[in-house]
Structure 1
Amino acid sequence: MIDCRSKLAQAHRVVVKIGSSSLAYGTGKPNLTRLESLVRQLSDLHNRGLEVILVTSGAVGLGLSRLGFTRRPRNIPEKQAAAAVGQGLLMHLYEKLFAEYGITVGQVLLTREDFTHRSRFLNARNTLYTMLSLAIIPVINENDTVAVDEIKLGDNDTLAAMVASAIDADLLIILSDIDGLYTANPQTDPNACLISEVTEITPELERQAGGAGSRFGTGGMITKLSAARLAMHSGMPMVLAAAACDNVLRRIIGGENVGTIFWPCSKLENKKRWIAYGSAVHGALHVDAGAAEAITHHGKSLLPSGITAVQGEFELGNTVSIIDPGGKELARGIVNYSSREVRLIMGRKTGEIERILGYKDFDEVVHRNNLALL
């Protein structure tokens, strides 16, 4: 058992994500008592000199309530309309509450594309760094009014982890309506036990993860495990706890045993972190056992001789998944050849590339420097 929660008090840059179910009652109306409590805690952390970034859900839920919906519509335009209404309501609440403590906040709306395109990713990161340098608390949400894919996913947990990774945060805190990760669903299994800490996300843990929670929220435990995996590979701990817990942020930063903590593992460098979790995947390369062994255990690049199949269509510079013989994704990487070219040279030696294609720009289909193990 690791007993290092006291180290959380050393965190300087903290990303806090608040879920929809923590911001609103079952009626869809905002839970003002909860909001006031969380804003007060965030403001106190800010006053202590910490850099605080807030990732918030709730725009669609508040919009649905204002528009009179009793449940989430399945129609995408209606969801976008609700987001357009709710985003203004949500930001107005945050501005009003933070202003009572003399703190300036700024709205940042992001989509997955802001992370999949490298230049946009760097621009977003620079904007966040500048806001922090000006003592502004960024209030981040998905741009649900235009991001159809993001609305389908409803994955602000992963968005929070991406933001935390992008700005090299020291700690990610995800606040939800559940007080941590359990061995089973505590709502249906009376024998479910809270897991205090996690050092590795295993297939067993993933099987224990359930579906979406409240009717106004779309995230579930599986999205929180995905966020935890990204945080762990970014070298930062993540704490999953209940927003309703008294002084939850102060207690987490103070090192108390609150919720479930996911401890970091080996840290990927920034570029490989982006390849693994930020870039869009355009296809897949299936490899044989020898190539899988060389990539996983010997730090080798992927050569055409080890490729057994090509899936999807992609171009030079796109990111692809690398799949082992058992069908498991073992890595992601940026390709040096298009899918058409790889289909022609797969299974062949590097010395044959020029004869087959008429040219050879690279020996490797994916160079080790552009490959991130998962």
Structure 2
Amino acid sequence: MSHNYHRIIIKIGSNLFTNCDGLPDIERIGNIVKQIAAIKKQGKEVILVSSGAVASGRSLINVSEKYDAIATRQLLASIGQVKLINTYSQLFEKFGILCSQVLVTKEDFRDRMHYLNMKTCLDLLLQHEVIPVVNENDVVSVTELMFTDNDELAGLIASMLNAQALIILTNVDGIYNGDPKLASSEVIDKINGKSIDFSSFVSSGKSQFGRGGMITKSTMAQKVASLGIAVHIANGTKDNVLTDLLQDDITHTHFLPNKNASGKKKWLAHSENYATGMVQVNDGAKTALTSNRATSLLPVGLVSILSDFKKGDIIKLVDTDEKLIGLGIAEYSADKARENIGQKNQKPLVHYDYLYLP
């Protein structure tokens, strides 16, 4: 059975981009580009999320040890990003394909206007048959501004562009039900739903060059799959991994998509860290919100405003024990919400269309 996806996000991790000496593996990258070109010829749209700026910089310059890790990373990323995009540009050119550079930070997802600007740009590139090469802007993204890793970024891009699939290429065959080094461990070929606790059997050790381990990948993959996007984690060191995967002809882990959510809800799903305000709701509102019926948050269900917000801000909805129920976009400010607490026949604070319940 082949997978008939039209729009695919492909993520290449730093552990795949680099050799064991930490320098770029041009032969392997060339092989992946060749497969992407073949996929594109089938009429599919591809967005590439690629690590490798720091590794590319490392191949060009030696940095004195007197600089701290963050400064060194910024320097290598700034120099290396030019090399990285030139590498892709030259490799894609062999197949008559144009690629472009899109550098992003977490801030670009925090604000609905930035988010829509970026979505418009990526849509425009795809309309013009260009392959966007997306990477975190490591020059300005330091510490708290960083994505967990490019897996998180790839998940955000997949949600933003309503992709049918996200393919994460790493240096192992998928997610194992135990330590991959043990002969008794096997690749989990299909994962459906949110019921699996990966920490019970996934090693928490990080890959040699990447920021994100397999638990990060698994958790992100579950979230993206819950938004209606198939996620595949596969071994990018295999020669025809992409073409074989799309034919369902390779051992890997496939997270089955379980439901479709609107574009706004997809954005909200990734926005917990960006919420400014917090409101507490009573048990009646909690029951209504978590029922199967489409329900907005009305002031009659509010207990208190725990932190301030403006109209249009993302706010957290918590229950009386301060456990997170959901995220939403405020229809009006905290001051007005305070005035309306407990009152009936008032305008919803969060409309159902702008409400995400994990």
TM-score normalised to structure 2 length: 0.89
Work out which of the residue numbers 231, 234, 246 in structure 2 matches 1:241: 234
CA distance in 2, matches of 1:221, 1:159: 15
**TM-aligned CA distance change 1:82 to 1:212, over 3 Å:** farther
Amino acid at match of 2:95: Y
Corresponding residue number in structure 2 for 1:68: 62
Report the secondary structure of 2:122's partner residue.
Answer: helix
Q: CA deviation at 1:235?
A: 1.8
1:300 lines up with 2:303 in the alignment: no
Q: CA deviation at 1:16?
A: 0.4
Unaligned segments of structure 1, at least 5 residues: 1-5, 352-361
Work out which of the residue numbers 84, 94, 99 in structure 2 matches 1:105: 99
For structure 1, which segment, 163-172 or 310-319, has the greater mean C-alpha deviation from structure 2 after superposition? 310-319
Work out which of the residue numbers 4, 13, 16 in structure 2 matches 1:22: 16
Work out which of the residue numbers 255, 271, 274 in structure 2 matches 1:262: 255
Report the secondary structure of 1:158's partner residue.
Answer: helix
**TM-aligned CA distance change 1:76 to 1:312, over 3 Å:** farther
Corresponding residue number in structure 1 for 2:90: 96
The answer on whether the counterparts of 1:114 and 1:121 sit within 8 Å (CA) in structure 2 is yes
**TM-aligned CA distance change 1:205 to 1:157, over 3 Å:** same
1:221 lines up with 2:221 in the alignment: no
Corresponding residue number in structure 2 for 1:316: 311
Q: CA deviation at 1:229?
A: 3.2
The answer on whether the counterparts of 2:168 and 2:231 sit within 8 Å (CA) in structure 1 is yes
CA distance in 2, matches of 1:183, 1:310: 44
- Which structure features the higher share of helix residues? 1
CA distance in 2, matches of 1:70, 1:252: 43
For each residue in 1:126-150, what CA deviation from the matched residue of structure 2 results, as whole angstroms up to 9, or x when unmatched?
2212212222111111111112357
Corresponding residue number in structure 2 for 1:199: 192
Report the secondary structure of 1:182's partner residue.
Answer: coil
The answer on whether the counterparts of 1:237 and 1:263 sit within 8 Å (CA) in structure 2 is yes
CA distance in 2, matches of 1:235, 1:167: 12
For each residue in 1:92-131, what CA deviation from the matched residue of structure 2 results, as whole angstroms up to 9, or x when unmatched?
2111211222221111112222222222222212221221
Amino acid at match of 1:236: I
CA distance in 2, matches of 1:80, 1:311: 38
Corresponding residue number in structure 1 for 2:355: 371
The answer on whether the counterparts of 1:232 and 1:263 sit within 8 Å (CA) in structure 2 is yes
Corresponding residue number in structure 2 for 1:160: 154
CA distance in 2, matches of 1:369, 1:326: 25
Corresponding residue number in structure 2 for 1:332: 327
CA distance in 2, matches of 1:88, 1:53: 19
Report the secondary structure of 2:115's partner residue.
Answer: helix
**TM-aligned CA distance change 1:76 to 1:311, over 3 Å:** farther
**TM-aligned CA distance change 1:319 to 1:325, over 3 Å:** same
Q: CA deviation at 1:365?
A: 2.4
Report the secondary structure of 2:276's partner residue.
Answer: strand
Work out which of the residue numbers 261, 266, 271 in structure 2 matches 1:273: 266
The answer on whether the counterparts of 1:112 and 1:150 sit within 8 Å (CA) in structure 2 is no
**TM-aligned CA distance change 1:26 to 1:327, over 3 Å:** farther
Tell me the matched-pair count: 355
The answer on whether the counterparts of 2:105 and 2:145 sit within 8 Å (CA) in structure 1 is no
**TM-aligned CA distance change 1:266 to 1:154, over 3 Å:** closer
**TM-aligned CA distance change 1:292 to 1:210, over 3 Å:** farther
CA distance in 2, matches of 1:159, 1:328: 26
CA distance in 1, matches of 2:307, 2:72: 32
Q: CA deviation at 1:253?
A: 0.8
Work out which of the residue numbers 164, 187, 206 in structure 2 matches 1:170: 164
**TM-aligned CA distance change 1:304 to 1:40, over 3 Å:** same
1:35 lines up with 2:23 in the alignment: no
Q: CA deviation at 1:154?
A: 4.2
Q: CA deviation at 1:313?
A: 3.3
Identity %: 34
Report the secondary structure of 1:249's partner residue.
Answer: helix
Corresponding residue number in structure 2 for 1:291: 285
**TM-aligned CA distance change 1:185 to 1:339, over 3 Å:** farther
The answer on whether the counterparts of 1:161 and 1:231 sit within 8 Å (CA) in structure 2 is yes
**TM-aligned CA distance change 1:329 to 1:64, over 3 Å:** farther
CA distance in 2, matches of 1:130, 1:308: 45
**TM-aligned CA distance change 1:176 to 1:70, over 3 Å:** farther
Work out which of the residue numbers 41, 44, 60 in structure 2 matches 1:47: 41
CA distance in 1, matches of 2:17, 2:46: 18
CA distance in 1, matches of 2:307, 2:331: 15
Amino acid at match of 2:259: S
For structure 1, which segment, 155-164 or 303-312, has the greater mean C-alpha deviation from structure 2 after superposition? 303-312
TM-score normalised to structure 1 length: 0.85
CA distance in 1, matches of 2:183, 2:45: 39
The answer on whether the counterparts of 2:7 and 2:164 sit within 8 Å (CA) in structure 1 is yes
The answer on whether the counterparts of 1:179 and 1:240 sit within 8 Å (CA) in structure 2 is yes
Q: CA deviation at 1:294?
A: 0.5
Corresponding residue number in structure 1 for 2:75: 81
Q: CA deviation at 1:40?
A: 1.0
